[in-house]
Amino acid sequence: MKIPTEATLRRIIAFVATVGIGVATYITIAESGGGAPACVAGGGGCQTVAESSYSELLGVNVAIFGIAGYVLILLTAFFANDTARFGGFALALGGFGFSVYLTYLEIWKIEAICQWCVGSAVLMTILFLLNAMRLIGYAGTDAAPPPPSPSSGPPKADASELPAA
């Protein structure tokens, strides 16, 4: 299997991270009003999860941590260097691990599933896989400078370099 170019991976990572920011922001806004995100397929799972003691960490809504994670992953997509590749991978790995933990809590402790939380976990899993592919496929490579645009043509001579007439 041939992996996509790094530029393509970076674009996909940026898109998925932006969707993640939207999902986590929706969860945050819905819960900040004292309610819960609306369950798209019905049921009360989102309400049950939002009202649980696990919906906050150190007094902060866990969706805020999601927003921060998605924003930081989005920022790594703007750079083509090893620091950004490793940073994106490390952030996505942490987000993936946290999502696994939160999903465990939903299933075994809270005994309810929030569809928006599952959606966020799926997005973070995708980001983990994309960032792993990016790190493995492009670590140690430097981004090449963009080629000169064809409309720019050859460099122009300075008037002092032109032969006298």
Q: pLDDT, tens digit, for every residue of 89-139?
A: 999 999 999 999 999 999 999 999 999 999 999 999 999 999 999 999 999
Spatial distance between the Cα atoms of 116 and 155, rounded to a whole number of angstroms: 55
End-to-end CA distance of the chain: 62
Alpha helices for the chain (secondary structure H)? 6-32, 45-51, 62-76, 82-104, 115-138
Is 132:96 a contact under the CB 8 Å cutoff? no
Residue 45: per-residue pLDDT? 87
Residue type, 18: T
Residue 165: per-residue pLDDT? 58
Residue 16: per-residue pLDDT? 98
Residue 145: per-residue pLDDT? 54
Spatial distance between the Cα atoms of 70 and 77, rounded to a whole number of angstroms: 11
Mean pLDDT of 12-32: 95
Looking at the predicted structure, is the pLDDT value of residue 87 above 60?
yes
Spatial distance between the Cα atoms of 64 and 57, rounded to a whole number of angstroms: 10
Residue 43: per-residue pLDDT? 77
Residue type, 68: A
Question: What contacts 69, CB < 8 A, 6 or more positions away?
Answer: 20, 91, 94, 95, 98, 124
Residue 143: per-residue pLDDT? 59
Mean pLDDT of 7-27: 97
What token pair was written down for 137? 């496929």
Question: What contacts 4, CB < 8 A, 6 or more positions away?
Answer: 12, 133
Spatial distance between the Cα atoms of 106 and 118, rounded to a whole number of angstroms: 10
Residue 163: per-residue pLDDT? 60
Is 124:20 a contact under the CB 8 Å cutoff? yes
Q: pLDDT, tens digit, for every residue of 30-86?
A: 988 777 888 887 778 888 998 899 988 998 999 999 999 999 999 999 999 999 999
